[in-house]
């Protein structure tokens, strides 16, 4: 029997775990106490992730379709088969799909193979459009297609905004860290039409009409501008074209935002004020089937830029 360290790849949190291996089988999973985020915890999915390895539906040998039926082949035969097929196809005719469940190393190799060997950029590592959109918004916004804050520092945050989704179900260990931050004094706000568990914990729960979160975020940005709570020093040091964006906010009419979203002016002003006054602020939004659309993600990103919160500690 041996124990191996690993990272749970069931969701994007990436909790640390220990795999108990007997022979060539993983027989158990245990939390890793020294992991900076999960700190010795796993959610129920993480505790049972090894069971997926034992399911009968799992494909653990290459299959080739022959006259309408799959037949099992050796790895060498499968590689030879794919290599012969791929030789006669140009880079334009082929696409590669990676998986967020695969390891970094595996996806790196897939990318190398696609780009360097087959000479194609038809490569996607996203499991759904929501993640790809999120990565694009972040890449355009700050040149880094992934989260900008540190989950390991989440407990030190003093403002946390959860927009849409249901974090407690989707990323339970992150939700647990938010609970800790909240207990330590962080101001917690949720923007979601649904009464999620995170919303119940929040000091402020804004419930805009479904499909109107974008307008509410624009309204928050307008209030920051009107109340002179935009961090102009931060914008001048770290952004370009911010003045034209601020000028564009004049087109956002707060009365119209109230009418569209159903959220009162005072509630919008309170949340904008809390964000502006915080030192360390986090925003969480879902990807996947509950994903926000890209303009809503961009509005959230721009709101945090205006308040000068991106790229700071936390
Ligand atoms: S939150 Fe659960 S599913 Fe996600 S990485 Fe951690 S243990 Fe795995």
Strand pairing of 69-72 and 63-66?
antiparallel
Q: How much is the pLDDT for 127?
A: 60
CA of 260 to the centre of ligand 1 (A): 37
Buried b (16+ CB within 10 A) or exposed e, 23-37: eeebeebebbeebeb
My answer on whether 152 and 301 are in the same domain is: yes
Residue-number span of the structural domain to which 213 is assigned? 143-306
My answer on whether 65 and 155 are in the same domain is: no
CA distance 202 to 187: 8
CATH code, 301: 3.40.228.10
Mark out the alpha helices in 12-74 (DSSP H runs).
Answer: 44-47
Q: Output the residue whose Cα is nearest ligand 1's atom 8.
A: 46
Q: Does the residue 165 lie in any domain?
A: yes
| 50 DSSP 8-state letter | G
Dump the DSSP string for 107-176: HHHHHHIIIIIS----EE--SSHHHHHHHHHHHHHHS-SS--S-GGGGGG-SEEEEESS-HHHHSHHHHH
CATH code, 21: 2.20.25.90
Number of domains making up the chain: 3
Q: Does the residue 106 lie in any domain?
A: no
Count Cα neighbours of 293 within 13 Å in the Cβ-side half-sphere.
Answer: 8
Which of 6, 10, 48 to mutate to test ligand 1, by most ligand atoms within 8 A of the CB atom? 10
My answer on whether 79 and 168 are in the same domain is: no
Instruction: Give ipTM to 2 decimals.
Output: 0.99
My answer on whether 172 and 269 are in the same domain is: yes
Q: Does the residue 313 lie in any domain?
A: no
My answer on whether 236 and 255 are in the same domain is: yes
Q: In what order do the strands lie in the sheet with 2-7?
A: 2-7, 16-22, 25-31
Q: Does the residue 116 lie in any domain?
A: no
| Ligand 1 atom index nearest CA of 172 | 1
Q: How much is the pLDDT for 202?
A: 97
Q: Does the residue 133 lie in any domain?
A: no
Return per-residue pLDDT of the chain as tens, 314 residues: 899 999 998 888 999 999 999 998 999 999 999 999 999 999 999 999 999 888 988 888 999 998 999 999 999 999 999 999 888 888 889 999 888 778 888 989 999 999 999 999 998 876 666 677 888 899 999 888 888 888 999 999 999 999 998 999 989 999 999 999 999 999 999 999 999 999 999 999 999 999 999 999 999 999 999 999 999 999 999 999 999 999 999 999 999 999 999 999 999 999 999 999 999 999 999 876 567 888 999 999 999 999 999 987 75
My answer on whether 10 and 78 are in the same domain is: no
Strand pairing of 123-124 and 96-97?
parallel
My answer on whether 239 and 152 are in the same domain is: yes
Q: Does the residue 302 lie in any domain?
A: yes
Q: Does the residue 128 lie in any domain?
A: no
My answer on whether 204 and 286 are in the same domain is: yes
Look at residue 191 and give its three-state secondary structure.
strand
My answer on whether 39 and 68 are in the same domain is: no
CA of 43 to the centre of ligand 1 (A): 5
| Ligand 1 atom index nearest CA of 49 | 8
CA of 41 to the centre of ligand 1 (A): 9
Using a 6 Å CB cutoff, which residues line ligand 1?
8, 10-11, 13-15, 38, 42-43, 45-46, 171-173
CA distance 158 to 95: 44
CA distance 248 to 211: 22
My answer on whether 193 and 293 are in the same domain is: yes
Q: List Cβ neighbours of 127 (8 Å cut-off, separation of 6 or more).
A: 99, 100, 101, 288
Q: Output the residue whose Cα is nearest ligand 1's atom 2.
A: 43
Count Cα neighbours of 250 within 13 Å in the Cβ-side half-sphere.
Answer: 4
CA-closest candidate to residue 290, choices 162, 168, 130: 130
My answer on whether 166 and 300 are in the same domain is: yes
Residue 21 in contact with residue 5, Cβ under 8 Å? no
Look at residue 268 and give its three-state secondary structure.
helix
| 61 DSSP 8-state letter | S
Q: Does the residue 127 lie in any domain?
A: no
Residue 79 host element (H or E): helix 75-87
Q: List Cβ neighbours of 220 (8 Å cut-off, separation of 6 or more).
A: 268, 271, 272, 275, 303
Out of 33, 54, 75, a domain closes at 54
* Tokens describing residue 66: 């022959």
Dump the DSSP string for 238-264: H-SSHHHHHHHGGG--HHHHHHHH---
Q: How much is the pLDDT for 288?
A: 66
Residue 313 host element (H or E): none
My answer on whether 182 and 210 are in the same domain is: yes
């Amino acid at each position: 029997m041996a124990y191996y360290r690993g990272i749970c790849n069931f969701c994007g949190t990436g909790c640390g775990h220990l795999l108990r291996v007997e022979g060539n089988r993983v027989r158990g999973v245990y939390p890793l106490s020294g992991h900076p985020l999960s700190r010795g915890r796993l959610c129920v999915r993480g505790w049972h992730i090894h069971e997926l390895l034992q399911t009968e539906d799992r494909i653990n040998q290459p299959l080739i379709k022959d006259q309408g039926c799959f037949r099992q082949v050796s790895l060498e035969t499968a590689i030879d088969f794919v290599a012969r097929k791929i030789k006669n196809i140009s880079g334009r005719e082929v696409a590669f799909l990676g998986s967020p469940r695969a390891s970094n190393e595996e996806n790196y190799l897939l990318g190398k193979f696609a780009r360097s060997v087959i000479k194609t950029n038809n490569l996607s590592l996203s499991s759904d459009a929501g993640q790809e959109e999120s990565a694009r918004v972040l890449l355009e916004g700050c040149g880094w297609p992934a989260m900008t804050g540190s989950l390991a520092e989440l407990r030190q945050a003093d403002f946390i905004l959860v927009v849409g989704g249901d974090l407690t179900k989707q990323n339970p260990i992150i939700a647990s860290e938010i609970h800790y931050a909240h207990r330590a004094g962080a101001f917690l706000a949720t923007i979601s039409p649904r009464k999620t568990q995170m919303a119940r914990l929040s000091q402020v729960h804004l419930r805009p009409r479904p499909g109107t979160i974008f307008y509410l975020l624009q309204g928050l940005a307008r209030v920051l501008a009107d109340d002179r709570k935009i961090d102009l020093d931060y914008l001048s040091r770290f952004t370009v074209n911010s003045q034209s964006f601020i000028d564009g906010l004049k087109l956002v009419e707060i009365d119209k935002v109230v009418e569209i979203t159903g959220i009162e002016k005072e509630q919008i002003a309170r949340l904008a004020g809390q964000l502006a006054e915080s030192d360390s602020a986090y925003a969480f939004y879902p990807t996947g089937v509950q994903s926000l659309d890209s303009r809503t993600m961009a509005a959230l990103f721009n709101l945090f830029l205006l308040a000068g919160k991106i790229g700071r500690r936390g």
